[in-house]
C-alpha cells in the first residue's frame, strides 16, 4: 500500500511565508528557506510553495527562491503561483523544483494542462483547485479564491485528470484556516471518482483531522500550513498517531 504523505504548505508573499484565514488576513510566518530546511529535517514527505504575490519580478524572484530551497532540502517540492506557460515551468524545474502547481491559468486555458503533461510528464503536474459551496454545490474559484466561476469542482477535476494532471490539490475555501477539519465528504467523492492522487487542503487544526482526512476523506496526502508553521502540530507526533491508526506513513 502506498504511504500517505504529509505536506507543509508555504504561501509566499514578497519573499516571506504568510498565512491567513479563508484566504485573507495574512500574517508573517517566517523565512521560506529556513522553514523548508526545518520541515525536511522534521520528516515532511514533500513541500508545496505557492507564490501569492503579484509582482512583475515574480518569475525571477521565485526561481531564486526555488534554487535556494533545492540546495537545502532532500524531499520533493512543488511550486505554484502565476505559472501560465511551458517556459515558466521550464525555469522552475531547471532551478530545482520537482513539480509545479497550476490553478487559475489552467481554468482559463485548459489546454495548458495537456501541453505541460506532454512536455514534462504528468508526474510533474499538479492542478490546484480552490472551491467553496454555493447553494449546496462546490464551485471553483480563481485568483486566490477571489473570483467565482460556474465550474463544478467534480466536473473540473475529471477534466483535469483526462488532460494529463498527475494529482489534484483540493483546497476547501470554506474550511481554509478555520482549524475545524478538512472537507472529507468532498475529498471522498473526488477519491472515488478519480484515479489520480488527491491532496487534502484547508482546515487542519489537530492530529485527528489528519486521521479523518485519510480514513473518511480517503485522501492520498494532507497539506497544512499554520499548524506546522506555528508549531501547533509536530510532524513526528502526527506520523506516530497516523501509524497508531494503521495509516501507512514514512517515519
Spot the catalytic one: 11, 45, 51, 88.
11
CA–CA separation, 61 vs 158, rounded Å?
A: 33
Spot the catalytic one: 45, 51, 98, 130.
130
User: Are the CB atoms for 131 and 153 separated by under 8 Å?
Assistant: yes
Give yes or no: 220 in active site.
Answer: no
Strand stretches in the chain, DSSP E? 5-13, 16-21, 24-30, 47-51, 77-80, 99-102, 125-134, 137-142, 147-152, 167-172, 198-201, 221-224
Residues with Cβ < 8 Å from 103, sequence gap 6 or more? 80, 127, 128, 129, 130, 142
CA–CA separation, 216 vs 88, rounded Å?
A: 37
Estimate the crossing angle of helix 58-72 against helix 86-94, to 10 degrees. Answer: 30
CA–CA separation, 73 vs 55, rounded Å?
A: 26
Give yes or no: 130 in active site.
Answer: yes
Residues facing 187 on adjacent strands: none
Q: Which residues are identified as catalytic? A: 11, 130
Amino acid at each position: 500500500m502506498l504511504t500517505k504523505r504529509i505536506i507543509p504548505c508555504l504561501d509566499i508573499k514578497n519573499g516571506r511565508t504568510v498565512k491567513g484565514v479563508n484566504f485573507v488576513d495574512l500574517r508573517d510566518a517566517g523565512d521560506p528557506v529556513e522553514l523548508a530546511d526545518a520541515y525536511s529535517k522534521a520528516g515532511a514527505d514533500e513541500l508545496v510553495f505557492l507564490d501569492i504575490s503579484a509582482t512583475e519580478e515574480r518569475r525571477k524572484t521565485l526561481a531564486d527562491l526555488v534554487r535556494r530551497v533545492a540546495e537545502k532540502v532532500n524531499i520533493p517540492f512543488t511550486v505554484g503561483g502565476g505559472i501560465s506557460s511551458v517556459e515558466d515551468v521550464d525555469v522552475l524545474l531547471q532551478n530545482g523544483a520537482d513539480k509545479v502547481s497550476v490553478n487559475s491559468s489552467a481554468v482559463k486555458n485548459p489546454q495548458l494542462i495537456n501541453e505541460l503533461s506532454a512536455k514534462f510528464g504528468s508526474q510533474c503536474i499538479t492542478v490546484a483547485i480552490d472551491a467553496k459551496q454555493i447553494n449546496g454545490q462546490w464551485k471553483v474559484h480563481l485568483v486566490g479564491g477571489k473570483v467565482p466561476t460556474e465550474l463544478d469542482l467534480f466536473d473540473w477535476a475529471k477534466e483535469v485528470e483526462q488532460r494529463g494532471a498527475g494529482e489534484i490539490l483540493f483546497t476547501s475555501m470554506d474550511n481554509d484556516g478555520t482549524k475545524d477539519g478538512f472537507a472529507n465528504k468532498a475529498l471522498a467523492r473526488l477519491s472515488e471518482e478519480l484515479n489520480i492522487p488527491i491532496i487534502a487542503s484547508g482546515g487542519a487544526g489537530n492530529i485527528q483531522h489528519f486521521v479523518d482526512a485519510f480514513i473518511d476523506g480517503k485522501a492520498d496526502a494532507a497539506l497544512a500550513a499554520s499548524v506546522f508553521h506555528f508549531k501547533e502540530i509536530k510532524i513526528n507526533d502526527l506520523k506516530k498517531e497516523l501509524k497508531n491508526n494503521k495509516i501507512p506513513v514514512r517515519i
